[in-house]
């Protein structure tokens, strides 16, 4: 994976480094209620650009909002190219977990090159929405969550944050996100050299990645996309009749057994019904699943073991896609910590 540093745009609307009120979760995690909450938090919340309220001309309005913010200096571009170490701290089973990666520009390429590996199918509607927004704003704001193998920890050591962060935020669930900046040319070159031979797997952001590939096809200046890279070995990534040509690894997944051993043959839940969300819903919160079943809001709850990083690698590197909802990466990355404008 070829990576590049960037002169990122960052929020400068006040003197504090706490920017909790201007960041937002990824667009596909935002319900109408969450959207209203984000709009109310701050007039400069990034959701006004990444996921504007549905109305005629909403993409053009997002561009107008962004242009006004930049003209006012609410968001300013860093003076020197940098990569940005990024960590997330959250509580899992009563234990504090910190996952550290870094933000940089990553080259976008067709999956056939086998540099970037997907693990799920995408749909035309979300990609059309993201393309319309990208064409209107040329704003590369949403971080792609990318995974790279780092068994010896060399990449993590090279991108470890040092000193005080330049920005921090709490997401809507209260989890902490912090951002640093590395501008030293030697340090950046070291990270580029470490990343050059590595494949990466998309953890979250398939629709945005494929949109970026399509956009680059007719915008030659847009060959790189804003990405956050984390090690497959980092903490917190765990979270019958078989289809033809599926591997032993694919068939061993708990979610595959659920889909192909129960939902499809016994309950008639097809891929179309899963896509339409008419018969099956999903939550990463086991307690919520049990509660909904007990309250009669769902007929049943199925609790399954999480897909492990080793299973993910084995299946994706073998060229297969995982069943729907095989992975859930928590916490989600935040939009608005730093962003990029295409062509700059």
Domain ranges of the chain: 3-235+330-341, 248-316
Lowest mean pLDDT segment, chosen from 13-22, 56-65, 197-206: 13-22
**pLDDT at residue 207 tops 70:** yes
Confidence label for 327 from pLDDT (cuts 50, 70 and 90): low
The pLDDT of residue 270 is 77
Helix (H) or strand (E) holding 232: none
For residues 315 and 218, the model is more confident at: 218
CB 50 within 8 A of CB 27: yes
Asked if residue 223 has pLDDT above 70, the reply is: yes
For residue 167, give Cα distances in angstroms to 5, 73, 196, 333: 18, 17, 28, 14
pLDDT higher than threshold 90 for residue 198: yes
Find the range with the poorest average confidence among 144-158, 217-231, 323-337: 323-337
β-sheet bridge partners, residue 341 = 139
Query: Does the N-terminal peptide bond of residue 173 adopt cis geometry, omega within 30 degrees of 0?
Result: no
In the structure, what pLDDT confidence band is assigned to residue 302 with cuts at 50, 70 and 90?
confident
Q: How confident is the model at residue 325, as a pLDDT?
A: 61
The answer on pLDDT for 211 being more than 60 is yes
Mean pLDDT of 267-281: 75
* pLDDT for residue 283: 77
Compute the distance between CA of residue 190 and CA of residue 296 in angstroms, rounded to an integer.
Answer: 56
Give the mean pLDDT of 213-242.
84
Phi then psi for residue 237, to 5 deg, are -95, 0
Model pTM score: 0.79
Average model confidence (pLDDT) across the chain: 88
**Which pLDDT value is given to residue 324?**
65
Positive or negative, the CA dihedral 169, 173, 174, 180 is negative
**What's the pLDDT score for residue 15?**
67
Q: Which residues contact 25 (CB under 8 A, 6 or more apart)?
A: 34, 171, 172, 332, 334, 335
What is the distance between the alpha carbons of residues 102 and 104, in angstroms, rounded to a whole number? 7
Q: Nearest Cα to 117, choosing from 315, 331, 253?
A: 315
**In this model, does residue 238 exceed pLDDT 60?**
no
Asked whether the predicted pLDDT for residue 229 surpasses 80, the reply is yes
Least confident of 91-100, 101-110, 127-136: 91-100
Residue 162 has pLDDT above 70, yes or no: yes
Q: What's residue 266's pLDDT?
A: 57
For residue 208, give the nearest of 180, 228, 232, 234 by alpha carbon: 228
- Residues contacting 344, CB < 8 A, separation 6+: 7, 77
Q: What is the mean pLDDT of residues 246-256?
A: 73
For the chain, what percent of residues have pLDDT higher than 90? 62
pLDDT, position 237: 61
The answer to whether residue 67 scores a pLDDT higher than 70 is yes
Tell me the pLDDT tens digit for each residue of 21-63: 999 999 989 999 999 999 999 999 999 999 999 999 999 999 9
pLDDT at 256: 74
């Amino acid at each position: 994976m070829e990576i590049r540093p960037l002169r990122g745009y960052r929020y400068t609307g006040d003197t504090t480094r706490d920017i909790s009120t201007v960041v937002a979760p990824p667009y596909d995690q935002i319900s109408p209620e969450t959207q209203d909450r984000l709009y109310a938090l701050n007039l400069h919340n990034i959701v006004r650009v990444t996921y504007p309220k549905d109305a005629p001309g909403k993409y053009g309005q997002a561009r107008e909002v962004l242009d006004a913010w930049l003209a006012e200096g609410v968001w300013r571009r860093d003076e020197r190219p940098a990569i940005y170490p990024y960590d997330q701290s959250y509580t899992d089973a009563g234990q504090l977990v910190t996952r550290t990666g870094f933000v940089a520009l990553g080259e976008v390429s067709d999956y056939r090159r086998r540099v970037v590996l997907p693990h799920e199918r995408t749909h035309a509607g979300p990609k059309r929405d993201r393309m319309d927004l990208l064409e209107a704003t040329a704003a590369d704001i949403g971080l792609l969550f990318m995974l790279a193998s780092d068994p010896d920890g060399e990449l993590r050591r090279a991108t470890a944050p040092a000193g005080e962060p330049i920005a921090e935020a709490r997401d809507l669930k209260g989890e902490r996100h912090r951002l640093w900046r590395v501008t030293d040319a030697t340090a950046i070159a070291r990270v580029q050299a470490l990343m050059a031979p590595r494949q990466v797997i998309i953890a979250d952001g398939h629709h945005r990645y494929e949109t970026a590939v399509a956009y680059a096809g007719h915008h030659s200046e847009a060959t790189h996309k804003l990405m956050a890279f984390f090690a497959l070995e980092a903490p917190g990534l765990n979270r019958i009749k078989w289809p033809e040509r599926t591997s032993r690894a694919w068939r061993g997944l708990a979610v595959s057994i659920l889909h192909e051993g129960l939902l499809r043959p016994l309950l008639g839940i097809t891929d179309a019904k899963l896509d339409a969300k008419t018969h099956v819903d999903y939550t990463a919160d086991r307690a919520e699943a049990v509660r909904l079943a007990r309250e009669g809001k769902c007929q049943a709850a199925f609790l399954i073991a999480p897909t492990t990083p080793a299973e993910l690698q084995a299946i994706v590197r073998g060229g297969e896609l995982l069943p729907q909802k095989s992975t859930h990466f928590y916490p989600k990355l935040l939009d608005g910590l730093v962003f990029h404008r295409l062509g700059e």
